[in-house]
Amino acid sequence: MYYGMIKKTDIANGSGVRVTLFVSGCRHRCEGCFQPETRNFTYGQEYTKETEEEVLDALANPFVKGLTLLGGEPFEPENQRVLVPLLRRVKERFPEKTVWSYSGYTLENDLWGRDPDPNIPPCRCEVTDEMLSYLDVLVDGEFVMAKKDLRLKFRGSSNQRLIDVKATLKKGEVVELEL
């Protein structure tokens, strides 16, 4: 996996001060994407053990509330397989920190695989459920330029949802986060 950037003090992509990892690779091709360069799966730098340690070291700062994954697309299967070991380590070392992820895929159809869109390559793979289990918040749905709304918190278009993943997994149906 490659990544475009690590922000060690980000306040735009989740609640509180966060460490944000912008992964590379995305098959969505959303019109108006704010990081179109990250569509390329080899954009930026190769993700290594040193990269993982850099993320974990940044999370050790007491003022950092958690980790946010975005990109690119964290839920491309190639990226999930690399991110799951990182998330395991984050939750072991920092159980009090929250994990947010952005995805153009939708939870029910694409990540759970209930009714996948035949026009979108499948993203569900052998580690998807484990990856979801580490998340606290999922912002799902493609960015839609016609639904762009700058008044929304932590999302770009009104079709995107802020999902409380822990409550959703417990209930078996989507529970949206109340801000």
| DSSP assignments along the chain, one per residue | -EEEEEEEEESSSSSSEEEEEEE---S---TT-S-GGGGSTT-SEE--HHHHHHHHHHHTSTTEEEEEEEES-TTSHHHHHHHHHHHHHHHHH-TTSEEEEEESS-IIIIIS-SS--TTS-----TTHHHHHHH-SEEEES---GGGB-TTSSS-SBTT-EEEEHHHHHHHTS--BPP-
Mean pLDDT of the chain: 93
pLDDT, tens digit, for every residue of 39-95? 999 999 999 999 999 999 999 999 999 999 998 999 999 999 999 999 999 999 999
Q: What is the pTM of this model?
A: 0.94
